[in-house]
Amino acid sequence: MKLLYQLNAAFTVLILIIMSITAFFIHSLLMDMLIQDEQRQLKARAELLIDVINEQDTDRNPQLSQLVQDRNYPILLFDRRQDQILFRTMPAEIARTWMDHYEDELIDEEVWESNGEKYVVYDFALSSRSNQILVMATPLNDLQAVQSVFAFRMIIVFVLGLLLAIIISYFLTRRLVTPLSRLKKEVEKIQKRQFDDVKAVEASGEIKEVEQAVRLMAEELARYIHSQKQFFQNASHELKTPLMSIQGYAEGIRDGVFEGEAAEKGFNVMVSETERLKKIVNEMILLAKLDSSKDVYHPERTDVIDIVDQSSVRLLPLAKDKDIELYVDLSEPFYTNVDSERVLQAFINIVSNAIRHAESEVRIHTQTENDWLTIQVEDDGEGISEELLPQLFERFIKGKEGETGLGLAISRAIIERSGGTIRAKNRKDRSGAVFEILLPYNE
């Protein structure tokens, strides 16, 4: 069943339940209200009757005569001490029954019953010292007829209200579901990888947030698939190059093309390319494990500042060999839970990358603020090209003097696995690049 019909059905059932409960209570309370109102009217007539009797006003005798003769308002006057009916406008059997049961059963009741008929009554003593009881009554059938008429009209109103509510619910739910239906079509485009055809859907509230999330997901999937395609293209190129060199020299040596020193040189190239190929494969495996496997990363309580210092010490010979000055400015120890070996590998990749691209110096600076450690690695080289900057940390993306194109991708994976972030930018005041790493404090 479609969501539109489900919402309409649920709303209709809810309205029916609410209206049924409301109707039940109204129908129940209506009779009580009618009985109370009828008792007030009986009391007023009784007071009128007592006034006429007490005052003996001849002008009001016609009212008394009419009231007494009106069979719709049965009257009973009896003496409970003498057990004698003094006056009645109702059948003798009913009058006798009420008088006999008055003391035991009827004195505090609002509704009296006799011979299967019910009456709303108002009874009182003519005076505080008198044993004469005056009973004014109204048949309950009259009130039930009023209740039935009211209930019938109430049912009509409820049915019309229900129909109107269903119509309004249909248009409201249609307005709610229509964006979802359109969003479903856009999701189907994502399923078919038609990312460029995904369009915005007009909506509001949470549906708008979902729509924005879907479009962001489509953009992210498009970028991911593009990066995967680029990864396979670059990977095949990087793997094919050493394989071609190995194959060429191997076939040349086999066919006798290379002999003597040339063959020896060929063997050296084959070993070198094999080592390069092995390095690429190992880095690809490590990168894949960092993305998916939990066994490759083992966090423990570690001083990150000490790891930064170790990376600078290990790369000092490389800096000396390239005639690069390495300046290190470290802050107080910063302990957090990271994999020390992996984080050291990430720092070595970043600092060695800075050394390769620097002209004369590389600066490493750390700073702690609000439970975050900031590590900056600056070089004074040519900087990062604007075309390369957005995809610098992608796999097999390498700039000038790059090696496998996997070092920065591995560094980013390690830093993100440690709960931190890494970004690269060009220096504003002078030439060169800045790598900034942020690591959080955690127990």
DSSP secondary structure of 387-438 = TTGGGTTSTT---TT-SSS-HHHHHHHHHHHTT-EEEEEE-SSSS-EEEEEE
- One domain, residues 400 and 363: yes
**Cα 49 to Cα 52: distance, rounded to the nearest angstrom:** 5
Domain count, the chain: 3
Find the mean pLDDT for residues 67-82.
69
| Domain membership flag for residue 154 | no
Q: How far is CA 77 from the centre of its chain?
A: 73
* 403 phi and psi angles, rounded to 5 deg: -100, -95
The reported pLDDT for the residue numbered 440 is 92
Task: Residue 346: name the closest of 389, 287, 407, 391 by CA.
Answer: 407
Find the mean pLDDT for residues 166-174.
76
The reported pLDDT for the residue numbered 372 is 92
| Domain membership flag for residue 162 | no
| Domain membership flag for residue 156 | no
- One domain, residues 239 and 351: no
The owner of tokens 């900031």 is 374
Listed range (42-46, 159-163, 215-219, 411-415) with the worst mean pLDDT = 42-46
The reported pLDDT for the residue numbered 237 is 66
Average pLDDT, the chain: 80
The reported pLDDT for the residue numbered 61 is 45
Task: Residue 107: name the closest of 73, 133, 137 by CA.
Answer: 133
For 154, half-sphere exposure in the C-beta direction (CA atoms, 13 angstrom radius) is 17
Q: What is the CATH number of the domain that holds 305?
A: 3.30.565.10
Find the mean pLDDT for residues 77-103.
83
Residue 441 · residue 372 · CB < 8 Å: yes
What amino acid is encoded at 205 in this protein? G
Supply angle C-alpha 48, 53, 54, rounded to 5: 100
- One domain, residues 262 and 383: no
The reported pLDDT for the residue numbered 351 is 92
| % of the chain beyond a pLDDT of 90 | 16
| Domain membership flag for residue 195 | no
Q: With a cut of 70, say whether residue 196 has pLDDT above it.
A: yes
pLDDT 10s digits, 27-71 = 777 777 877 777 787 777 777 766 666 665 444 444 445 555 554
Task: Residue 365: name the closest of 355, 351, 352 by CA.
Answer: 351
pTM: 0.51
227 is in which domain, residue-wise? 205-292
